Amino acid sequence: MKTGSDFISSYLSWLKQGMQFSNIGEYTEITTPFLDNNNDHIQIYIKQQDNNQYLLTDDGITIAELEMSGCDLSTSKRKQILSFLVNRVGVNIQDSELIVSANEYNFPQKKHSLIQAILSVNDMFMLAQSKVKSLFLEDVEEYLSLNDIRFTPTIQFLGKSGLSHTFDFVIPSSRSMPERLIRTLNDPNKERTESILFSWNDTREMRSKNSLMYVFINDIDKHVKSDIPSAFFQYGVKPILWSKRGDALQELTA
């Protein structure tokens, strides 16, 4: 089995080799190896500005795809959720575009943040028809609150690679249990699984050696392939199927 360091190296190599660049007018288009909900490669665009500043944008594609798929973003609640998902990684929404500014020093982190924002929005809104009453992230937060589990939402930790990673919740250590990091996975697929594993493996060496990682996986009305939980187990992450969330309650409340 690969070690955490091996996984980080292979993941970064896959990410680097999967990037394709092309010039479109004053913009540079980057095609990433990540797939959106239509199985198209996620693309971002970079424009150089004055004073060695760069504008990174998704060109409005993320929100446009959501609206074309029937996701109503006109309600104040959904606007709030959408803003939260992108703002928590330092990305903004401007004229329906996901944007972030960068300089030559923080460019890798800002590019990483924009890609993570796009993945997060795609994941949370995967089944976001007008009938959907809540998002999976909200469901998990409500579950933690109803069971009196102490947690802090939306925490960023610096990884060994120098990149910052956002975790949905962190449960502080107690007398009987170490710190527990939590991510949610609404759309269980290979790309998002590897992204979460990279965040964990890049971060774990910078945290307490006893820190644990959990992933809540939404398996309601959808089939979760067995290789998704297996991949998490292989790298020391504990997957929690939403349909069996009670199985991990004792570990989370301790």
Domain boundaries of the chain, sorted by first residue: 18-124, 136-253
Kindly state the tokens that stand for 236: 């020391």
Residues sharing a CB contact under 8 Å with residue 249, sequence separation 6 or more, in sequence order: 147
* Sheet containing 97-103: order of strands: 20-24, 27-35, 41-48, 53-57, 97-103, 92-94
Q: Which has the higher per-residue pLDDT, 69 or 92?
A: 92
What is the value of pTM for the model shown? Answer: 0.76
How far apart, in Å, do the first and last CA atoms of the chain sit? 30
pLDDT of residue 133: 47
Over residues 106-112, the mean pLDDT reads 92
Residues in the chain, how many? 254
Which pLDDT belongs to residue 7?
A: 76
Q: How far, CA to CA in Å, does 151 sit from each of 24, 82, 89, 97, 184?
A: 45, 22, 19, 32, 14
pLDDT over 70 percentage in the chain: 94
CATH for 136-253?
3.40.1350.10
